[in-house]
Structure 1
Amino acid sequence: MTALPQYDRLESLGLWRPSRGDQRREVIVSFGDATLVVADGAGRPLSHWSLPAVKRLNPDEHPAIFAPDVDATETLEIDDTAMIEAIGLVRDTLIRAAPRRGRLRQALTALVLLGVLGLGAAVGPDLLRNQTVASIDDQRRAEIGATVLGYLQARTGPVCRSAPGRSALQRLQTRLFGVDGLAGQVVVLPAALPGPLTLPGGLIVVDRAVMARYDDPSVIAGDIVAATARGTDPLDDLLHHAGLAATVTLLSTGALPDGVLPDYAAFLLTTDPAPPTEDALLAAFAAARLPSAPYAVLRSARDQNGATLITNDPMQDRTIEPVLTDAEWLQLQAICDG
């Protein structure tokens, strides 16, 4: 549900340009709770923008051109007058903060929450969390993940978006998972992270420091693959951290309590993510046709066992397709410089 309920189901066509050097493509634009969702014709999310941060690049001109931040390397052109007005209204409403609920609605919501909390105590928090995770659709997951990413950026600086770097990152993602192999998106933040992060909606977050520290692109590729090998649902991870009350609120109202997502973002920035098992890692590296030995160096630097990745490298004695060309690797390393 958006900040203004009359726009919950509003959609329009748009022309989306992922970066300055890319061709524009037709997309479907819709609203999340606090995000603008850009999806392809099949409804698969391509990008998620935090609405309070959205900038209009050509005020008073038509069609309107929007960007997710001041860098404006990614743009969205919209010709639909209703959608243009809605984006401005919802954005302004979110910035001013949503209006306070009425007392009757607050009381009814509290009664519902108390009832579901009682159910949670009876069936157990794990079962209730599993039920909640199963009830959340892909679009809502994408909205939650994009919002967490927004809070991460508030602490680390904005997602790195140089056009050549983004193109190289997309080629790396395709090399590892195929054209349709990864449902989400890989993004790079400028500040160091405890490890690769996975967010609801298929977002994988890595940091620039790994690319600056290691000369082999197989290391950052290994960080991305490792993030997919954990075998846990990122939404389940979030709710496990947030606790029973937040889980009940999401299940009963479709929204999370204020403070849950910024708190989770702060937690992610200060806590080492649970590493995947070595067997899961090796299987993921084999599926990606990626050597695991180079990643052992980074794993050891994080006080995790890397010996097995060297001795049982699934690509040992095999011909390996390059992860990136030298030129692409230099572009990726400079993704935060544009």
Structure 2
Amino acid sequence: MTALTEFIRLESPGAWRAGPDQRLQEVVVSVGDATLILTDPRSDRPLAHWSLPAVTRLNPGQMPALYSPTADAPDEQLEITEELMIDAIERVHRAIESRRAHPGRLRGGLTLAAALAMVVGLVFWLPGALVRYAGRIAPPAQAAQIGDAVQAEIARSTGAACHRVAGDGVLQHLATRLLDPGARIVVLPADLRGARRLPGDLYLIGTDLLAETSSPETVAGHLLAASLASPPGSVLQEALDHAGPRAAIQLLTSGKLPAGALTGYGEARLSQPLPRPDDGVLLEAMAQKGVPAEPYARSLDPTGESVLGLIEADPYRLQAPPAALLTDRQWLALQQICAG
């Protein structure tokens, strides 16, 4: 018995009752290979052999220790007072128990592991899922409010948006001709290096696009590029990702983001590289809207080397657009929108 390897021979006195009507008699209790042997001390004749794995203690924690050969046959009993023998029998039982399969314990462990995995999954998945859900179901009015909030955040570093009646009219004309219904264009007194699309179909351009070296076609090219490079769902999702799960929950419950949820997002948005759509998609849109590609391409790279594909595939390279984007008077009004 490997649990008792330190003992060469282990014996102790005991009192054995063969049945409920039998008297107790003294026996010598010894541990065999896998049995408990009860021997008559006077004749050395074995009286009983009990299987050690089946031996059951009837009074755990009490003395003298009372055993039976099986839990189902308590009529045959053995009393032992020798603590060394009691400890040896208990050690054998513990060794057997440790090797026995525990399906309930395994099932409980698996259940606990599954529960922990679910909790961990929820911790990492649920916040992102809430933000994505808020972005998917936000109505146009909410998206427009978020776009205005982002614009206000950007205006802290660039200055307030420029407004003049004539210039605002030109911006509305361009939005109607080039962009989706309900789109708005705002001019900020700063260099934005192109057009930026915000939630709620709000487009920002800077005064660098209205300089003397620019043209209405350049402005139109950047607006089209911004509309195609950043779908409305993606720009709203990016803003909500910055705001975070708590802000998304408040948006879902109250319809508004908490104050300060977009702090820092404006500067982060402006620091990102200007997104560019696929050349083929952009050229197709330019052909439909009557916008030549070369002015836009030259604003990205005056040498034309890195934008040669746009220049050579310009739909109006060999022919004039069907109609001018702006009259000279409209273009001048737009260039002066930040004046005064």
Under TM normalisation by the shorter chain, which class is it?
0.5 to 0.7
| Alignment-derived partner of residue 144 in structure 1 | 146
**Selected match of 2:176 from 171, 174, 177:** 174
- For residues 304 and 123 of structure 1, the distance between their equivalents in structure 2, rounded to whole angstroms, comes to 47
Q: How many residues align?
A: 220
| Alignment-derived partner of residue 332 in structure 2 | 330
| Alignment-derived partner of residue 293 in structure 1 | 294
**Quick check: 1:189–1:205 contact (8 Å CA) kept in 2?**
yes
- For residues 302 and 261 of structure 1, the distance between their equivalents in structure 2, rounded to whole angstroms, comes to 38
**Quick check: 1:157–1:191 contact (8 Å CA) kept in 2?**
yes
Q: TM-score, normalised by structure 2?
A: 0.57
Cα deviation for residue 314 of structure 1 reads 2.3
Instruction: Tell me the secondary structure at the aligned position of residue 200 of structure 2.
Output: coil
Using CA pairs under 8 Å that are at least 6 residues apart, name the structure with larger relative contact order, 1 or 2: 1
| Alignment-derived partner of residue 316 in structure 2 | 315
Cα deviation for residue 291 of structure 1 reads 0.7
The more displaced of 244-253 and 139-148 is 244-253
**Quick check: 1:241–1:264 contact (8 Å CA) kept in 2?**
yes
Relative distance call for 1:240 and 1:308 in structure 2 (3 A) is: farther
**Quick check: 2:298–2:304 contact (8 Å CA) kept in 1?**
no
Provide structure 1 residue ranges, at least 5 long, that are not aligned to the other structure: 1-114
Relative distance call for 1:237 and 1:301 in structure 2 (3 A) is: farther
Cα deviation for residue 286 of structure 1 reads 2.2
The more displaced of 227-236 and 294-303 is 294-303
Relative distance call for 1:231 and 1:267 in structure 2 (3 A) is: closer
**Quick check: 1:226–1:276 contact (8 Å CA) kept in 2?**
yes
**Counterpart check, 1:196 vs 2:195:** yes
Instruction: Tell me the secondary structure at the aligned position of residue 264 of structure 2.
Output: helix
Cα deviation for residue 191 of structure 1 reads 1.0
| Alignment-derived partner of residue 97 in structure 1 | none
Instruction: Tell me the secondary structure at the aligned position of residue 197 of structure 2.
Output: strand
| Alignment-derived partner of residue 275 in structure 2 | 274
Relative distance call for 1:156 and 1:258 in structure 2 (3 A) is: same
One-letter identity of the residue aligned with 1:274: P
- For residues 250 and 257 of structure 1, the distance between their equivalents in structure 2, rounded to whole angstroms, comes to 8
Cα deviation for residue 116 of structure 1 reads 11
Instruction: Tell me the secondary structure at the aligned position of residue 332 of structure 1.
Output: helix
**Quick check: 2:230–2:275 contact (8 Å CA) kept in 1?**
no
Relative distance call for 1:297 and 1:235 in structure 2 (3 A) is: same
Question: Over aligned residue pairs, what C-alpha RMSD do you find?
Answer: 3.1
Relative distance call for 1:259 and 1:123 in structure 2 (3 A) is: closer
- For residues 168 and 197 of structure 2, the distance between their equivalents in structure 1, rounded to whole angstroms, comes to 19
One-letter identity of the residue aligned with 2:329: A
Instruction: Tell me the secondary structure at the aligned position of residue 171 of structure 1.
Output: helix
Relative distance call for 1:333 and 1:188 in structure 2 (3 A) is: same
Counting only pairs closer than 5 Å after superposition, residues 1-338 of structure 1 correspond to structure 2 as 119=122, 121-122=124-125, 125=128, 128-177=130-179, 181-212=180-211, 214-233=213-232, 234-243=235-244, 246-247=247-248, 250-251=251-252, 254-300=255-301, 305-320=306-321, 321-338=323-340
The more displaced of 146-155 and 184-193 is 146-155
Relative distance call for 1:116 and 1:331 in structure 2 (3 A) is: farther
One-letter identity of the residue aligned with 2:220: A
Cα deviation for residue 332 of structure 1 reads 0.9
Cα deviation for residue 254 of structure 1 reads 4.1
Q: TM-score, normalised by structure 1?
A: 0.57
- Deviation per CA, 1:166-217: give whole Å up to 9, x if none: 222223333334xxx4322111111111431111111111011121152422
**Quick check: 2:294–2:310 contact (8 Å CA) kept in 1?**
yes
- For residues 249 and 119 of structure 2, the distance between their equivalents in structure 1, rounded to whole angstroms, comes to 6
- For residues 187 and 250 of structure 1, the distance between their equivalents in structure 2, rounded to whole angstroms, comes to 25
- Deviation per CA, 1:269-327: give whole Å up to 9, x if none: 33223222222322322232211111001122699942221011123334411111112
Instruction: Tell me the secondary structure at the aligned position of residue 330 of structure 2.
Output: helix
One-letter identity of the residue aligned with 2:197: T
The more displaced of 205-214 and 265-274 is 265-274
One-letter identity of the residue aligned with 1:121: F
One-letter identity of the residue aligned with 1:210: L
Provide structure 2 residue ranges, at least 5 long, that are not aligned to the other structure: 1-117
One-letter identity of the residue aligned with 1:192: D
